[in-house]
Structure 1
Amino acid sequence: MKYMQPRPSSIVAALYTARDLGVDVAILHGPSGCSFKHARLLEEDGLRVLTTSLADNEFIFGGQQTLEDVLRYAEDNFSPRRMAVVGTCVSMIIGEDLQSAIDGAGIATPTIAVDIHAGYPENIDGVIATLEPAAEEGWISEDELDRQKFLLAKANEVERLRGAACKPYIEPSRGDLKHVAARRLLDLARAGKKGVAILNAKKETAYMFADALIALHDMAPGADVTYVANLENRGLPKVRADAARIREEMEARGVPVRLEGALDEYGANGDRLGEVLREIAPDFALIVGVPHAIPGEYTEGIECFSITNGPRQVEPLRDLGHRHVMVEVDLHPKTLGVQQVVESEFGAVLRSLA
């Protein structure tokens, strides 16, 4: 399918994966403006992102020397534990040998070369292009590499079937009014209806999505609600650390959590969570993060309250029959660099109904 809407970049996906692997410094080998917004955001999360700032003359004559200079600068000034050199469209077109520059720089820091550009149809290519050299360096096991590839394929499948990639173009929407949905949710919970609150979030976005579950528990502490979260201890180093922090905070705030899946398993978690819904047979369900991972057959007859951070995910969720669909605007920038749960808009609205 040819998409007529912006799609995630494989270069950006490579940067985020480098961060999850514990890379301290990532060097973009390309123009200074390449992936500018995400590079700045990732610096809020502790990953220094440098650029070789290739200009028009280097587009012609090459920039290997520049890359070697930046590698030495990074090692001398930041004393990183790990580095990654991430390619761009420019370095691909002019045929730069990233590994040769790493070898020629004379650095001691463990460093991987990520040969990637933005021309891949799926952003998961950037993830795989980062994980494969990481496995070769021994940063992750071959089993973990295979696991990651499986999870990426499942996440892609979900997006194509029921997500923001299911149509060539989807009109963005901010979804339903949060105060209306929040009032309905509380009315159901306080009336003794059986409910399920599910966190099925992607990586660090869980720092805000988890707040919706905490807020529901705060406002209806005695309600017949089962709380479920994909916070099991699996995944890359940062993913496991994030899950542990969120899990501990939810427990400390009195939310009894049933663990189903890990933070990187959001795309493969749909049937597992669907079986939980069948087991409990709730009257209503609050599903936050990646609600569309759960096939529609499992949510039939349930009044669903779904929260996503993608304006283009509203229409597909309504197509699945979810009655209340809301968007947490600018969630991702608000969850970069944090190490504790961040209050969500929906959570704040729920608490305001006291």
Structure 2
Amino acid sequence: MKYMHPRPSSIVAALYTARDLNVDVAILHGPSGCSFKHARLLEEDGMRVLTTSLADNEFIFGGQKSLEDVLRYAEDTFSPSRMAVVGTCVAMIIGEDLQSAIDGAGITTPTIAVDIHAGYLENIAGVLSTLEAAERAGWISGDELARQRFLMEKANEVERVRGAASQPYIEASRGDLKHIAARELVRLARGGAKGIAIMNAKKETAYMFADELIALHDVCPDADITYLANLEPRGLPKTRGDAARIAEELEQRGVKSEYIGALDEYGANGDALGKRMREIDPAFALIAGVPHAIPPEYTAGIECFSITNGPRQVAPLRNIGHRHVMVEIDLHPKTLGVREIIGSEFGAVLRSIG
């Protein structure tokens, strides 16, 4: 399918995956403006992102010398423990050999070459290219690479079937008014209805989505609500660390949660969460993160309050029967670089009800 609304970039996906592997310095081999916004955001998350700033002259004669110079600069200036060179469309078109530049730079820092460009329909190409290079370098095991491949396939499947890749064009939406949904959620919880509150979040977005669960518990501490969260300790180094911090803080703030799935298993977690929902048989459900991962046969007949950070996810969620759909605008930029749970807009609205 050809999508007519913007989709995530494989180059950006490669950068985020390098960060999850505890890469200290990533070097984009391309023009200075390539992936500018995400490069800046990732610097706030602790990874330095440099660029070889290729221009028209290098487009013709090649940029290997520029890449070697930047590699040496990065090693001398930052003393990194790991580096990654990430390709771009320009590097691919002019046929740059990233590994040859790494070998020719004379550096000693462990460095992987990620041959990638933005010309893929699915951004998981950037994730897998980075992980394959990491496996060759001995940074991850073959078993973890196979696990990640499976998770990426499941995440893609969810997006194609029920997500933002399910239609050629989806109108962006801010979703429902949060105060109206919050009042109805509190009415149900305080009225004795059985409920379930689920966080099925993608990686660091959990630092804000967890607040939705805490806010519901703050406002309705005695309600009949079961809390579930995808915080099992699996995944790449940063992912495991994030899960441990969030789990500890949820516990400290009084939310006793069952853990189903890990932070990188959001796309593959739907059936496990759905089966647990059937066992509990709730009247209502608060689902934060990636609500559409749960197949609609599990949510049928349940009044769902779903919270996503994707404006193009609102219509697909309504199409599968979620009655209340809300968007946490700009959630992802707000969760980069944080190491503790941060306040959400819907959480603030819930707490304002008192």
What is the TM-score when the length of structure 2 is the normalising length?
Answer: 1.00
CA root-mean-square deviation: 0.3
- Residue 232 of structure 1 aligns to a residue whose secondary structure is coil
Alignment of structure 1 residues 124-273 onto 2, 5 Å: 124-273=124-273
CA deviations on 1:78-137 (whole Å, 9 max, x unpaired) are: 000000000000000000000000000000000000000000111000000000010011
* C-alpha distance in 1 between matches for 2:47 and 2:183: 40
Secondary structure at the aligned position of 1:173 is classed as coil
CA shift digits 1:130-159 (9 cap, x unpaired): 000100111000000000000000000000
The Cα offsets for residues 135-194 of structure 1, whole Å up to 9 and x where unpaired, read as 011100000000000000000000000000000000000000000000100010001100
Whole-Å separation in 1 of the counterparts to 2:57 and 2:271: 53
Aligned length: 354
Give the structure 2 partner of residue 107 of structure 1. 107
Equivalence for 1:65: 65
Does residue 319 (structure 1) correspond to residue 323 (structure 2)? The answer is: no
Aligned to 2:304: 304
Amino acid at match of 2:140: I
Distance 1:152 1:43 in 2: 25
In 1, Cα distance between equivalents of 2:234 and 2:140: 12
- The Cα shift of 1:37 comes to 0.3
SS for the counterpart of 1:288 is strand
Give the match's secondary structure for 1:113.
strand
Amino acid of the structure 1 residue aligned with 2:195 = G
Mapped pair 1:286 → 2:296: no
CA shift, 1:10, in A, is 0.1
Give the equivalent residue in structure 1 for 2:12: 12
Cα deviation code 1:299-332 (max 9, x no counterpart): 0100000000000000000001000000000000
Distance (whole Å) between structure 2 residues aligned to residue 97 and residue 143 of structure 1? 28
Match of 1:101, SS state, is helix
Report the AA paired with residue 160 of structure 2: R
After TM superposition, where is structure 1 displaced by more than 2 Å over at least 4 residues in a row?
Answer: none
Cα distance in 1, alignment partners of residues 239 and 323 from structure 2: 31
Deviation at 1:345, TM superposition (A): 0.1
How many Å separate the matches in 2 of 1:276 and 1:306?
17
Paired with 1:67 and 1:32, the residues of 2 have a C-alpha distance of: 13
Partners in 1 of 2:209 and 2:301 — Cα distance?
Answer: 24
2:49 alignment partner in structure 1? 49
User: What is the rounded CA distance, in whole Å, between the counterparts of 1:148 and 1:211 in structure 2?
Assistant: 27
In structure 1, what is the Cα distance between the partners aligned to 2:124 and 2:134? 15
Matched, 1:97 2:101: no
Paired letter, 2:53: S
SS in 2 for 1:5: coil
Paired AA for residue 83 in structure 2: M
The unaligned stretches of length 5 or more in structure 2 are none
CA distance in 2, matches of 1:267, 1:238: 18
Q: Quick one: which amino acid aligns to residue 329 of structure 2? A: V
* Residue type of the alignment partner of 2:209: F
Instruction: Report the secondary structure of 1:22's partner residue.
Output: coil
SS in 2 for 1:16: helix
The letter of the residue matching 1:165 is A
Counterpart in the other structure of 2:23: 23
Q: Shift of the alpha carbon at 1:348?
A: 0.3
Specify every segment of 5 or more residues in structure 1 that has no aligned partner in the other structure, as ranges: none
Alignment-mate amino acid for residue 79 of structure 1:
S
Instruction: Provide the identity percentage.
Output: 80
